[in-house]
Each structure stands twice: as structure tokens, then as C-alpha cells.
Amino acid sequence: MTELLIITRNQETFSHKSILRAADKLSLNVEVLLSHKFVGLPEEPKHKLVLHRDSGISFDDIDLVIAQHLEDAGLKVLNSSKITETLRGKDKQYLFFKKHGLPHIPTFLSRGNLGHRDLPSYEEYVMKTIRGNQGIGVSLVKDTKSLLSILDSNHARKDERYLVQPRLYFEKEYRVLMLNNQVLGVIEKKLTSDFRANAKRCETKKSTLPKDFGPLIEKINSLLPNQFLGVDIGINNGEAIIIEINTTPGFEEFDKLHNSDTALMLLERNI
């Protein structure tokens, strides 16, 4: 019997290799299903745990089909296909935050030919692809005229899979790593020359959970129970605002700063 099945499309990441090493420590038999290179759904699956680790900017949701198939067969999938689908794409995350009254960055979507009167007025804008990771596909736009030009160009190319937000100057930004409703630890991010606060683009240090984050984390746990999440939170004018929730968080920087083995905890607490 294969105890662990990993759904992924990238076997070269630190996180994937760490999971394989942790599985070896625990003497677990592992199978890897590449979501971009397979034929047929697994028949009569009998894995103890399925790790859904497919992420990135692809608009192909075949990994969700695979995960749903495995859940229908009674397997435990972390993260669940329902949670992953709910939070896949920054547009869907915006709806989730809005629906549940979670503090978030003001966001708007657009389609078609626009005029200046149609655009919310901000000093600076941030454009984000609906799907993306590690800051890829994120652009800083300096004024409304420039934004309108970009949106018109995207419309002409028939690619309008973007959302637009005002640029907020966060006093501090945090990545909170959570597993099964417990906070594993916190990283504080400090912007350097790049406006994107991805761990590979900014300075980071080990931190602790700010006390006033408690109610927000509790609410996230109640809405997204027993998952593995990376929650990005910024402080703007003294208020905690959710920037993004990542359902396939990487943990290379986290393990380095906290001197921890996230992959081992991930398996030990779920198998």
C-alpha cells in the first residue's frame, strides 16, 4: 500500500523535496502524480493521505478533478478540493473575503473598453493576474491614465484575467503559516527596493503572532478548518488586512528562519 500520494506539477521545489525526505524518515511509501502528465484517474486508490501541492499560474484545474475523485473515494486530501477551489484565484479570494466580512484590500475587476470615469481614483494601482505566485504577474501602475492604457491593451489581446487594487503602504507585513488550525510560526517581511513582498524579493525575519491578530486567525480557522495555509497579513493605518491566503504555501524561508521541519510536521500530524 502507498501511504502518501502527492499531486504536483513541479518536483524541483524545496517543499516537494522536503516532503519526500520527511516521508523517507517516516518509512512511508510515496507516489507522485504529475497533474500535467498523466493518463486516467487513479483506480481504487488506497492512500492514507493525499497532499494537494499543485500551484502556480496555470488556468488548468485538472488537479481539482483529481483531488475530488480521490475525496469521493474516501481519501483524506490536504488541502481539500473545495477549499482549494474556493481560494484559487485572487478574484475568488476577494469574493470569499467580502462574503465573510474579512478585512481585505479594496479590489475591482474590469472588462471591456473603459473611460477614466469608470475607474476608481487612486494615486497608485497594483495590477495582479488572477492566478500567480511569487509576485509573478504583479505590476505597479503609477496613475489612472497608465492603468487605462494597460487595461485597453489587455482587452484588445482578449486577456483580461487581472484585478486591480490601490497600492497600500503597509507598516508591516507578515506570513502566518498554519496547519490544522494551529499557527506553526510567523515571518515578518520588510520591503527593500521591490514593491512586492514575496519572501524571495524582500528581507525576512522570524517573528511572533501579533496579539491583535488573534480574532482574525480564529475566524480564518473557523471558515477554513484543518488545512495547511500561508496567510499574508499587512498592517495599514493600524488595521490588520488580509493580503492573500495561499493553499499551497512554500516553506523554505520559514524552515530556515525557524530552524524547523515543516514537511515532517505536515506528515506526522496527518498520517
Can you give the pLDDT at residue 58? Answer: 79
Q: With bands split at pLDDT 50, 70 and 90, how would you rate the model's confidence at 196?
A: low
Can you give the pLDDT at residue 194? Answer: 57
The alpha carbon torsion through 232, 254, 87, 194 (nearest 10 deg) reads 50
Task: Specify burial of residue 206 (Cβ count, 10 A radius: 0-12, 13-18, 19+).
Answer: middle
Question: pLDDT tens digits, residue range 42-68?
Answer: 888 889 999 999 987 778 899 999 999
Can you give the pLDDT at residue 40? Answer: 92
Please give the average per-residue pLDDT across 75-80, as a whole number.
Answer: 96
Say if residues 203 and 189 touch (Cβ distance below 8 Å).
Answer: yes
The pTM is what?
0.91
Say whether pLDDT at 192 is over 80. Answer: no
Say if residues 55 and 133 touch (Cβ distance below 8 Å).
Answer: yes
Please give the average per-residue pLDDT across 179-203, as a whole number.
Answer: 78
Q: With bands split at pLDDT 50, 70 and 90, how would you rate the model's confidence at 200?
A: low
- Strands in the chain per DSSP E: 4-8, 30-34, 49-52, 77-78, 108-109, 125-129, 138-141, 162-166, 172-179, 182-190, 203-207, 228-236, 239-246
Question: Which is nearest to 8 in space by CA: 248, 262, 254, 244?
Answer: 248
Cα gap 185→262, rounded to integer Å: 10
Say whether pLDDT at 199 is over 70. Answer: no
Alpha helices (H) along 26-143: 62-72, 81-87, 90-99
Can you give the pLDDT at residue 184? Answer: 97
Cα gap 178→249, rounded to integer Å: 10
Please give the domain boundaries of the chain with CATH numbers for all domains.
4-79 (3.40.50.20), 90-103+169-246 (3.30.470.20), 108-166 (3.30.1490)
Cα gap 176→161, rounded to integer Å: 27
Separation of first and last alpha carbons in the chain: 14
